[in-house]
Amino acid sequence: MSTTLLFHKPYGVLSQFRPEPGSAWSTLADHIDRPGVYAAGRLDADSEGLLVLTDDGRLQARLTDPAWGHWRRYLVQVEGIITEAALNSLRRGVMVKGRRTLPARARAVEDPTLPERDPPIRHRLRVPTAWLEVELREGRNRQVRRMTAAVGLPTLRLLRTAIDLMDGGPPLDLAGLAPGAWREVSPGERQRLVALLRPSGRPSAP
């Protein structure tokens, strides 16, 4: 039987088990002692939140292929004042490194009062900060940060909170997981993940 884990990745941890030469970042090996699992999708070392790890290569491919359109939800603390124009730009898609992103879901949210990050984010007293909830169906390199920068809202803190399996059930999320903690998927979650690998027609259009 395959192994699939949900991990709340803290700041400063690479989404891999081997260290990068010369890097000061820690790795998954510092938190997870289950051999043979690999991240299904990545989070940058300076990002936090939900990471799915599995030893099932088909599941890894299914969850990361943008053709299937799994929505990923993020809480994003930004510098500046969120405007409706900025939100509409994110919803339409913005140009990132010469290519337009797929349309996103984006809305302003109240401060979610997350636990303090270690190390804390930098604050500039004269620059306001605000929070966004952003959902994407693709995972290009540093995409959320580049998208918010493109609309004049530099990202200060980024946390992935959920991954939608697109099967009508609740998304996988961080419920009950403190930063640095992990758990095996529940029997119900396992059944849903197995069902994703059954023949089910064509993937959704991007």
Q: What are phi and psi of 102, to 5 degrees?
A: -65, 155
Mean of per-residue pLDDT scores for the chain: 92
Mean pLDDT lowest among 67-71, 76-80, 159-163, 186-190: 67-71
Q: Please, are residues 52 and 40 in contact by the beta-carbon 8 Å criterion? A: yes
Task: Kindly report the pTM of this predicted structure.
Answer: 0.92
Structure-model confidence comparison of residues 15 and 118, the more confident one: 15
- What are 106's two structure tokens? 């984006």
The predicted structure's pLDDT at residue 203: 53
The amino acid sitting at 73 is R
Give pLDDT, residue 204.
53
> What's 66's DSSP letter?
G
Does 2 score more than 90 pLDDT?
Answer: no
pLDDT reading at 205 higher than 60: no
Residue 65 annotated to the active site: no
Tokens of 2: 């395959």
Q: Confirm if 155 and 90 have CB atoms less than 8 A apart.
A: no
For residue 199, give the amino acid letter.
P
The burial class, CB within 10 Å (0-12 / 13-18 / 19+), for 144 is: buried
Cα–Cα distance, 151 to 93 (Å, whole number): 10
Mean pLDDT of 45-55: 97
Task: Tell me what the mean pLDDT of segment 12-19 comes to.
Answer: 95
What letter does residue 149 receive in the DSSP assignment?
Answer: H
Catalytic residue among 33, 44, 46, 55: 44
Q: What percent of the chain stands above pLDDT 90? A: 80
148: tokens are 């918010």
* Residue-level pLDDT at 121: 84
Going from the C-alpha of 40 to that of each of 7, 24, 87, 98, 185, the distances in angstroms are 11, 23, 28, 26, 14
pLDDT of residue 18: 94
**pLDDT tens column, 116-175:** 888 888 777 788 999 999 999 988 889 999 999 999 999 999 999 999 999 999 999 999
Q: How far apart are CA 1 and CA 161, in angstroms?
A: 27
Nearest-angstrom CA–CA distance, 12 and 80: 25
Residue 201 has pLDDT above 60, yes or no: no
Instruction: Say what the pLDDT of residue 123 is.
Output: 74
Tokens describing residue 124: 């500039």
